[in-house]
Amino acid sequence: QKEVEQDPGPLSVPEGAIVSLNCTYSNSAFQYFMWYRQYSRKGPELLMYTYSSGNKEDGRFTAQVDKSSKYISLFIRDSQPSDSATYLCAMSGKSGGTSYGKLTFGQGTILTVHP
Amino acid sequence: DAGVTQSPTHLIKTRGQQVTLRCSPKSGHDTVSWYQQALGQGPQFIFQYYEEEERQRGNFPDRFSGHQFPNYSSELNVNALLLGDSALYLCASSLVGAVNQPQHFGDGTRLSIL
């Protein structure tokens, strides 16, 4: 069983829709949770970062972490064609007293927003 | 503000050869991590370098080795290349001890093994 499970999709939605992306994990040591967006032939771009449980909002994006259920989500409101990309969840625990060590990624969800 | 830069962008090798990939971290960052991303998969952690030493290592064979230089730039070396080594190799940088500053990625080197 993988440490981080993410539905690979693909997910296709109309412009303006609310998109929900999810990941589950099994490692209780994870404390830092991230969402990256990756366009074709590009590296992952950090979208959202959350420490421990809770919600975080940034513009059209909202990240939620439920550590008790080992479940994280990313919501995209008013989705745009430019949001079409692969979305990767990533998480890490503390490493040697620093905040960020090895990132463990989900498989990625391919999202297409059509006009 | 220069982000993470990687070179070359694309490389073609044959089985058994050796390859070196290069990474310059984002300005102000001192830690470099390397990841392998196979087609249709999420990145897999190879190793992380800080203060010119390997601090953490993922589940990769010894054919994968690295180095960090005093200016924080880094190299990834892969020996005895296999067809399965074909992937996008990503470099990420961060700052040790920095709060709320996760890893930033470059655009990667796409390695094709023939």
The per-residue pLDDT for A107 is: 96
All structural domains of chain B, each given as residue ranges with its CATH number in brackets, are 5-113 (2.60.40.10)
A82-99: b or e for each residue (b if 16 or more CB lie within 10 Å)? ebbbbbbbbbbeeeeebb
B113, pLDDT greater than 50 = yes
Question: Which tokens in the block code for residue A74?
Answer: 């990313």
The per-residue pLDDT for B100 is: 58
The answer to whether A101 contacts B58, with C-beta atoms less than 8 Å apart, is no
What is the average pLDDT across B84-92? 97
Q: Which of residues 53-82 of A touch B (CB under 8 A)?
A: none
Determine if the peptide bond prior to B8 is cis (ω within 30°). Answer: yes
The per-residue pLDDT for A29 is: 86
What would the DSSP string read from start to end of B15-33?
TT--EEEEEEPPTT--EEE
Mention the CATH class of domain A4-95+104-114: mainly beta
Q: Which of residues 65-84 of B touch A (CB under 8 A)?
A: none
Cα(A37)–Cα(A88) distance, integer angstroms = 6
User: Of B114, B87, B113, B98, which Cα lies nearest the Cα of B25?
Assistant: B98
Strand locations in chain B, DSSP E?
5-7, 10-13, 19-24, 31-37, 44-50, 53-57, 64-68, 74-78, 87-94, 104-105, 109-113
The per-residue pLDDT for A99 is: 43
Beta pairing, strands A32-38 & A45-51: antiparallel
Cα(A10)–Cα(B112) distance, integer angstroms = 25
A101, pLDDT greater than 80 = no
- A105 chain-B contacts, CB cut-off 8 A: 42-44
B86, pLDDT greater than 80 = yes
Residue A98: DSSP 8-state: B
What is the average pLDDT across B2-7? 92
Strand locations in chain A, DSSP E?
4-6, 11-14, 19-25, 32-38, 45-51, 54-58, 61-66, 71-76, 85-92, 104-105, 109-114
- Asked if B45 and B31 touch (Cβ cutoff 8 Å), the reply is no
- Asked if A19 and A110 touch (Cβ cutoff 8 Å), the reply is no
What is the average pLDDT across B76-96? 95
The better pLDDT of the pair A52, B21 is held by: B21
The answer to whether A6 contacts B42, with C-beta atoms less than 8 Å apart, is yes
Query: B48-54, long-range: CB within 8 Å, 24+ apart, which pairs?
Result: B48/A101, B48/A102, B49/B74, B50/B96
The answer to whether B45 contacts A32, with C-beta atoms less than 8 Å apart, is no
The per-residue pLDDT for A96 is: 45
Highest average pLDDT, of A101-105, A107-111, B95-99, comes from A107-111
**Chain A within 8 Å of B48 (Cβ-Cβ)?**
yes
The per-residue pLDDT for A54 is: 87
The better pLDDT of the pair A24, A7 is held by: A24
The per-residue pLDDT for B78 is: 98
- Please report how many Cα atoms fall inside a 13 Å half-sphere around the Cα of residue B68, on the Cβ side: 22
The per-residue pLDDT for B102 is: 80
